[in-house]
Structure 1
């Protein structure tokens, strides 16, 4: 066994990992000593021992402070991942010892999964009240790195293009059509049929540039000769969009958003857009084991998706009628002998 192997497998401690991450954060040993409540000589000694044990220089001393070398960058990246795993183990152990059943950390992509995730959370709490959940809303750019680093267990929402997934596993859950929506008072809301030219006079609520929906939306509107005016609002917030539609003549492009919300009812315009987006679904890191809580959450998401599909009510009613007819038929059938 080489000296590097021996040090990493036998002598590397959690305190070394924390030291590396803290130095990388502050790049100054005096600040590291202050935030860790350790003397400056002790911090310097710990770093020197770590570099000597590994046999590599982890930081370069510059006028701007400590800068990680390529060896330092490598070890810091893995240190962050290992600390995340240790924190997750701590949380699971605490949950087990306190009688709860674990915790799942979920990232939710905005402007999607607005019905899917709440339905799944309701199923989860019904099946396992002791399983707790933290939900963080964010963009693909902010949530996928958190998922890769293990700070999130799952990301729920509109699935990104397959070529951006890398080491992530995905499960498609629900097709959510993209529709044009207005407030109930909008001049076009009372029309039973429309042409694309009817949209020209009105301002828009648009997803921001770089979001999953923006580019395919622009291409679809361009194909119908609908110009995007200079009068628009850009947001990924469903709440902002719904609220503004109530008080304006704007048109919004929304995915999977129910029109019949009792507090903020909207109108769906009778114009059909092509399939602009991939289905809503769930992502996880295939290189990390899913906790039992995360596995249960995926099961609840699958069940919620089945309940939200348009054919679910018809299927359920058909099953109910079939069962009722079966019971009636059985009541008039002669019983078998014996």
Structure 2
């Protein structure tokens, strides 16, 4: 089916774009239907309508998880940009009508929210622009999905996998290690010489599958001959990890910045391991073709200043 470009705006609806973006993010029609609170047939029908309008297939459904075709990869960049631009327009009108305030929405990994954001937000607040800051935290994949949909203006976190970076730009801010920490009187620390393999005897808090640092952790454990952990707790919750590790024999595998203050005040301590090989970039991810508001740019500059001081 071939249509003139002038006929597309009248036929492609907002619901088409949202369904497409959620299926692309979750790689599943079933999961997208659940997130959108729609039935699976309704989502499938909406996708079919969009593919008929465009005249091409957007997804390869031959595998268990659907994947984008090369047409879908191209369309993903423009669909995300369109939805983001529309939401920014709606937000700006709503904010202007309400109070004239601009809300800067930041997606941040726990490590960034603990390490660079507090000082940056403090500096930003001192500018007295009357703007508000909204901090959204979560795993990297969730934050990247929120960025593509326009739910956040930019993301501070690890660099995403190359195949998910279409339409985004990444600016390196600093590099950070993944570390193993425990309470300072943990039984592991009394073993001489230190026996890392004994970690399997204790609860271990790990980043969940799909998180950017998970592959780094898995490779590190394999290097030391450690396979499946007997008592593994997958979490991205900073508050849970801190409380559980302080009050139990758990070992927490986490980005160094999240626990920097806990280590400094002696509540937690590093296990004596060389984790230099688990060093990874932390940076700023933005949509490549969407300009940011002046308050958002000012907050980004404060973040850059804070990163230089690490």
**Residue 173 (structure 1) aligns with:** 173
Question: Is the CA contact (8 Å cut-off) linking 1:161 and 1:278 kept in structure 2?
Answer: no
**Residue 92 (structure 2) aligns with:** 92
Q: Which runs of 5+ in 2 are unaligned?
A: 20-41, 56-74
**Residue 131 (structure 2) aligns with:** 131
Aligned-partner Cα distance in 1 for 2:163–2:193: 38
Matches for 1:1-338 after TM superposition, within 5 Å: 20-21=13-14, 68-72=49-53, 82=82, 84-93=84-93, 95=95, 100=100, 102-110=102-110, 112-189=112-189, 194-255=194-255, 256-261=257-262, 265-307=267-309, 309=310
Aligned-partner Cα distance in 1 for 2:186–2:152: 41
Question: Is the CA contact (8 Å cut-off) linking 1:95 and 1:102 kept in structure 2?
Answer: yes
Alignment size in residue pairs: 262
| SS at structure 1 position matched to 2:156 | strand
Aligned-partner Cα distance in 2 for 1:299–1:195: 44
Q: Which runs of 5+ in 1 are unaligned?
A: 27-61, 310-338
Aligned-partner Cα distance in 1 for 2:79–2:308: 40
Aligned-partner Cα distance in 2 for 1:94–1:154: 20
Compute the displacement of 1:283 (Å): 0.2
Question: Is the CA contact (8 Å cut-off) linking 2:177 and 2:280 kept in structure 1?
Answer: no
Question: Is the CA contact (8 Å cut-off) linking 2:140 and 2:158 kept in structure 1?
Answer: no
Aligned-partner Cα distance in 1 for 2:258–2:80: 38
Name the TM-score, length of structure 2 as normaliser. 0.69
| SS at structure 1 position matched to 2:135 | strand
Aligned-partner Cα distance in 1 for 2:210–2:80: 29
**Residue 30 (structure 2) aligns with:** none
Compute the displacement of 1:197 (Å): 4.1
Compute the displacement of 1:214 (Å): 1.9
| SS at structure 1 position matched to 2:283 | strand
Q: How far does the alpha carbon of each residue in 1:222-269 deviate from its partner, in whole angstroms, 9 at most, with x for none?
A: 212344431221111121111111221111111022344399921112
Change (3 A) 1:282 1:21: same
| SS at structure 1 position matched to 2:88 | helix
Q: How far does the alpha carbon of each residue in 1:95-142 deviate from its partner, in whole angstroms, 9 at most, with x for none?
A: 557774522222223455422222222221122451212222233333
Compute the displacement of 1:190 (Å): 6.0
Question: Is the CA contact (8 Å cut-off) linking 2:17 and 2:83 kept in structure 1?
Answer: no
C-alpha RMSD over aligned residues: 3.7
